[in-house]
Structures are given as structure tokens and as C-alpha cells.
Amino acid sequence: MLKDITIGQYLPGHSFLHSLDPRTKIIAVLIYMISLFVVNNFFGLGFMLLLSFVVVLTSQIPVKFFFRGIKAIIFIVSLTVILQMFMTPGEIMWQFGIFKITKEGIHQAIFMGTRLILLVSVTSILTLTTTPISLTDGIEHLLKPFQRFGVPAHELAMMMTIALRFIPTLIEETEKIMKAQAARGADFESGNLVQRAKAMIPLLVPLFLNAVKRADELAMAMEARCYHGGENRTRLKALQYTKRDYVAAVLCIGMVAGAFTSRFI
Amino acid sequence: MSLEVKHVTYIYQKGSPAENHALQDICLKIDEGEFLGIVGHTGSGKSTLIQHLNGLLKPSEGEILVDGVDINQKESRAKLKELRMQVGLVFQYPEYQLFEETVENDIAFGPRSLGLSEQEIKERVQHTMELLNLDYENFRNKSPFELSGGEKRKVAIAGVLAMQPKYLILDEPTAGLDPRGRQEFLELIAMLHRQGMTIVMVSHSMDDIARYAQKMIVMEHGQIKLSGTPQEVFSHPVELEQIGVGVPTLTKLLLRLKERGFHVRTDLFNVNEVKKEILTALSERKGDTTC
Ligand SMILES: Nc1ncnc2c1ncn2[C@@H]1O[C@H](COP(=O)(O)OP(=O)(O)O)[C@@H](O)[C@H]1O
Ligand SMILES: [Mg+2]
């Protein structure tokens, strides 16, 4: 059941998107996000929606993965939509006691809902088509210019890599410990809130202890191999922009231009 | 009274691209009082199989009967706790499940979740600890995390034994122990078996299985490849070699001697019996100088 978590999941493939440089993809996603908030009318929103369809099709990733991602945020989306609908002041369309729906509210609700869904879908395309390792590589490179302002780019990237690396391990271990305690009569599923919180102790204590122990061992192993941070470190696979990345850059410029133009329609 | 596995198939991550048929049409019957050994290569499905026996995993197909009752029926699922009291399962490296502040509380976790009285719990903890050669007064208030590896494992196993299960299932109970610790544990398991407990033990050591188990199964790719008494199973050394589990050291020795033309039986697993057999065979060949 814990295996259903799809955050940061990567699906191997050979699409155009898979072969792009991670830096290109990260920047493109950022530009897409900005464009999402630049557009302010239905032409613009339709344009962004269309773009996301094209990107999803290009990625060759089964559509069900996006639906799963959307299902995970359905609660947040509904909450946003409802709040926007009732809380935005403006021309009243429908009223019942203190509850009123305004024309502006509906407009806002549609916008925010769509934006959220598109945000999540496009971000998941990034993680679905990029291995965690190259993703952190890309982030490290993009943060490099900020190093002179004290941003520890390499360390941040290394921490992310390690964290991503250990998510599956921790999930696996959680399942194992849950089973082992269930074999001793532990019950994680029934009871009231307090009882359930208490039932987590036999799970959390061993989990944390093992995590700390593992972190210790990892640190030791890294030190034994003379790891000492990013200084003068070279890479086995250096990142390299290719022709595809320039194509993608041109398309991104087109996207921004489209988003701005749509404001004047 | 028995544990019965009927045509059980189990698929991990069913429906996803990573679908994995960990068990395929397994049939198995473990009678009360028996000692069953399970061997097989890593990844052959041993751990998956035993997790079915106390309802931790639900078969994708087939059924599990404990004392004749299908444990995955609706009414039985509601009584899972009682089932887990009857079928005690000790996982591999069980010391990673310790979590309480004191040894006594950790062992009491199982009995307590069964809702027994404090008096009864205390008696059970004390009894179990003594069974495992853990001095009650000395260990009860210690933190489980300050114990040695072998002691930790004892405490973890005590946590299951304190539920007084009828069937005890152990997943590689001696993995990672030193030779003396292994021996001590095996003797303990043998003693529990003599006292009437049904034992199912997963092991990588053919020597241990040959010595203690009454019946055994050999698994490969989620299927049972060979089954029967150790005598029967270990009379197929070629197949066992192919499956990658091999035969006990003593069997290997006897087989080699036989290859060299000695007249020895190859179905003995006891050091003394083997010694006698070899001496007899040697005296038969006295005067022969080929060796
Ligand atoms: N939690 C799990 N999720 C997915 N696959 C698993 C899981 N546990 C085991 N497997 C797979 O099932 C197969 C059998 O594993 P297991 O029963 O652990 O074998 P064994 O105990 O004999 O080493 C292996 O291929 C293993 O990779
Ligand atoms: Mg195993």
C-alpha cells in the first residue's frame, strides 16, 4: 500500500523529454509555472492546457500516472475551488443566507483549480522523465552561480540525492516492521485517534533508530572513500547541452511569448 | 490439526509493470508436532510463503487453512489477532523490532495486546525468559538496546514465544549469529519441538535442516521443487546442486567416498553414525592400497 506513493517516481523511456538535459527541463518547468500565472483569461489558460497535453503526449508516459498524481491532490484542489468560489467578492450570481457565489468567484475557482492541476502534472512529467540522480545533478549546476552568495550547492544536491535514494529503503523497512509488529498482535488499523497514535510507537521507534544507524554507517562509508564535499570534484557523466536542448529553449521562448500575448486578446 | 497451503499463488504489485509472481500454485501440509525445514535460493519465495501462514499476506489465489479454517474468509479476518497468537512468526533479524524501554516490556508487548491480565503477562514473560536462558531478575529492567546481538535476538524471539503459539515459524533464525549462538538457538528450537510445538524453519544451512527437520521442501522461483524427508530430498544431489542449495557436508563426504568405490550409505546425517559407517567401510577395504 505504501508502494503506491509516486512522489519522485521515474519511468524509464526514450522520448524526446527523457533525452533532454535535466537543466533544460527544470528551467522549462519553472518557465511554465510562471507562464501559468501570467495568463489571465480563458484564451491564455486554454493555451497552457493545450501545451500540457502536447507535453504529456510527447513524454510517452501512460496517462494513468497523471490521474494518480491528480487524485493525490484532489482534496487540496477541491478546497481551493470551494474557497475561491465562496470567498471572492463581486457580482452575486446565487445567494443562500451568508453563502454567496459570485461571477468573479467562479472565474477564480476555475483558474486556480486548473492551475494547480497543471502545476502538478507538469512537475510530475519532470520527475517521471528524469532519473533522481540527473535531477539533483541539474539542480546542483543551476545553483552553482549562487555559491558565491553562500548557497551550498553541492551539499544541497548531495543531501537531496541521499534523501531520494533512501525513500524506497525507508518505505520497505516501514512495511517490514509493520508486519513484524502485527505478528506480535499490534493493530495499526482500528481504534480511536489516541489509540492509533499510540499504536505507531512500535513502528516509529525501530524505524528512527535504524535510520540514524544507517546514516551513521553511510557517513562512515563515505569518509572511508575520502569524500570531502564538492571542491574540485569532477563527474563521470558531465552534463552536456545538445541540439534537442536548443530546440526546447526556442519552444520555451514561444511559450512565454504566447502567454504574454494572450493577455491582450 | 494442521497448517494447510492450498494452491496458493502470490503476486507482488499486481497490475503494475513490476508484477512479480513470488509464489506459484504452492501446496503444502504441515501436521501438528512436525518440524518442517524450508530451503531455497535467495528470492525463491520462502519469506513470502511463511508470511501467508499467519495472514500477513493474502494469497492472490488459493487458500490457507489453519486447523481446517480458511483464515482469509471474512469472519476469520476479524479474528486475525487470535490467529497470530496461534501461529507465531519470527522474522529475519527480529532484533530490529525491539522498541520498548525495558526487556520485560518488550516481551510483554504481544501478550499485552492479547488482553491478558498483568499477572498472567508477568508469568509468561518470566517463563519465556527462563526458557531462553535469560535471567529474569538480571535482564528485566535492562534496555533492549544495550544488549549484545545474541541477547537482542533472544529477547525478540521471546516476544513471540510469550504469546505461546501452537505453531512457531522462524525465518532464518540463526542468520548473522556466531557458531556458538547458532548452536544454542538450534538446540532451543529443537527443545521447543520436543515439547510439542510445531516448527517451520527457513534456513540456508543444509546441515541444520538435515539434523533437525523431519520434513523439508526445496523452493525455486516460487515453486516447490522437491519435498519429503531429508533422506528423500538429499538423495537428489544433482538436482539440489542445480537449484543452488547443495547437500549437507556429511552427505557430500559420503557421496565422495561412494564415488571412490567405498560401500557407504549416503542417507546419514548424524556425525556419529557417519563415523561408524566410514569406519566399517574402511575396515572392509583393509589391505586395499588404492587409497
Ligand atoms: N515487499 C515486496 N515487494 C515486491 N516484491 C517483493 C517483496 N518482497 C519480496 N519480493 C520479491 O518476491 C520474490 C520472493 O522473495 P522472498 O519471499 O523474500 O524470497 P526469499 O525469502 O526466499 O529470499 C523475490 O523476487 C523478491 O524480489
Ligand atoms: Mg527471505
Residue B111, SS3? helix
* pLDDT for B248: 92
- The rounded distance, in Å, linking the Cα atoms of B261 and B193 is 39
User: Is A183's CB within 8 Å of B91's CB?
Assistant: yes
Closest CA to B72 of B130, B8, B15: B8
Beta carbons of A177 and B96 less than 8 Å apart: yes
Instruction: Verify that B27 and B125 share a domain, yes or no.
Output: yes
Same domain, B135 and B260: no
Helix B249-259 to helix B271-284 angle (10° resolution) is: 10
Give contacts of B110 with chain A, Cβ < 8 Å: 184-185
Per-residue pLDDT, A247? 92
Give ∠ CA B72-B75-B77 in degrees, rounded to 5.
Answer: 45
Note whether B269 and B241 are same-domain residues.
Answer: no
Shared domain check, B45 and B11: yes
Cell triple for residue A193? 485517534
Cβ separation A202–B97 shorter than 8 A: yes
Check: CB of residue B8 under 8 Å from CB of residue B25: yes
Query: For residue A31, what are the domain limits?
Result: 2-130+239-262
* Residues 6+ away with beta carbon under 8 Å from A34: A256
Task: Tell me how far apart the alpha carbons of residues B62 and A147 are, in angstroms, rounded to a whole number.
Answer: 60
Q: Which amino acid is at A247?
A: V
Shared-domain flag, residues A176 and A48: no
Answer yes or no: is the C-beta of B46 below 6 A from any ligand 1 atom. yes
Count CA within 13 A, CB hemisphere, residue A242. 11
The residue whose CB lies within 8 Å of the most ligand 1 atoms, and thus the one to mutate among B48, B53, B172, is B48
In a domain, A139, yes or no: no
* Whether residue B185 is found in the same domain as residue B195: yes
Find where cell 525465518 sits.
B171
Q: What pLDDT sits at residue A1?
A: 43
Same domain? For B153 and B195 the reply is: yes
- Distance from residue B13's CA to the centre of ligand 1 (Å): 11
* CA B10 to ligand 2 center in whole angstroms: 15
Q: Which domain holds residue B290?
A: 248-291
Q: Could you tell me the pTM of the whole model?
A: 0.78
Pair B180, B281 in one domain: no
B43 ligand 1 Cβ < 6 A: yes
User: What is the least distance, in Å, from the CA of A4 to any CA of chain B?
Assistant: 9
pLDDT at position A8 is: 61
What does DSSP say about strands B35-40 and B198-202: parallel, antiparallel, or unpaired?
parallel
Question: Out of B13, B85, B96, whose CB is closest to A185?
Answer: B85
Question: How far is the CA of B161 from the CAs of A141, B87, B110, B146, B180, in angstroms?
Answer: 55, 10, 9, 21, 21
Note the pLDDT of residue A188. 82
Strand partners, B37: B201, B216
Give the ligand whose atoms come closest to the C-alpha of residue B39: 1
Of all residues in chain A, the one with the smallest CA distance to B162 is A184
Regarding whether B238 and B267 lie in a shared domain, the answer is: no
A249 CB neighbour count, 10 Å cutoff: 15
CATH of the domain at B54: 3.40.50.300
Whether residues A121 and A244 share a domain: the answer is yes
Q: Of all helices (H) and strands (E), which one includes residue A20?
A: none
The ipTM is: 0.86
pLDDT at B83: 87
The three cell numbers locating residue B65 = 487453512
Domain count, chain A: 2
pLDDT, mean of each 10-residue run, chain B (291 residues): 93 80 94 95 94 93 91 78 89 91 94 90 94 92 92 94 94 91 92 94 94 94 95 92 91 90 87 90 71 51
* B176 and B280 within one domain: no
* Atom 27 (ligand 1) nearest CA: B43
Tell me which residue has its CA closest to atom 18 in ligand 1.
B47
Tell me: do B263 and B223 sit in the same domain: no
Please tell me if the CB atom of residue B20 comes closer than 6 angstroms to any atom of ligand 1.
yes
Q: Which ligand is nearest to the CA of B51?
A: 1
State the Cα–Cα distance between residues B244 and B242, nearest whole angstrom. 5
B228 C-beta neighbours (distance < 10 Å), count: 14
Could you give the CA distance from residue A126 to residue A28 in angstroms, rounded to a whole number? 9
CB spacing of A183 vs B85 below 8 angstroms: no
Tell me how close the Cα of A173 comes to any Cα of chain B, in angstroms: 10
B28 touches B217 (CB < 8 A): yes
| Nearest-by-CA chain B residue for A204 | B99
* DSSP string for residues in A61-93: --HHHHHHHHHHTHHHHHHHHHHHHHH--SSEE
> Could you tell me if the CB of B203 is within 6 A of ligand 1?
no
Which protein residue has the closest C-alpha to ligand 1 atom 11?
Answer: B22
B166, B260: one domain:
no
List of chain A residues with pLDDT < 50: 1
Q: Pairing relation of β-strands B61-66 and B69-70?
A: antiparallel
Residues in chain B within 8 Å Cβ distance of A179: 51, 56, 91
Residue A91: count other Cβ atoms within 10 Å of its Cβ.
8
Phi/psi of residue B122, nearest 5 degrees: -65, -45
Determine the distance in angstroms separating the CA of A80 from the nearest CA of chain B, rounded to an integer: 32
DSSP A192: -
Q: Do A184 and B54 touch (CB under 8 A)?
A: no
Same domain? B220 vs B286: no
- Give the distance from residue A77's alpha carbon to the nearest chain B alpha carbon, in angstroms: 27
Residues A125 and A177 in one domain: no
Pocket-testing residue among B9, B12, B49, B201, ligand 1, by greatest number of atoms within 8 A of Cβ: B12
Q: How many independent structural domains does chain B possess?
A: 2
Q: Do A193 and A243 have their domain in common?
A: no
Same domain, yes or no, for A251 and A190? no
CA dist list (Å): A85 to A111, B34, B93, B119: 11, 68, 55, 61
Cα(A186)–Cα(A200) distance, integer angstroms: 9
Q: Is the C-beta atom of B45 inside 6 A of ligand 1?
A: yes
Cell 567401510: give the residue. Answer: B281
C-alpha pair distances (Å), A193 with each of A59, A189, A190, A197, B142 = 42, 10, 9, 6, 31
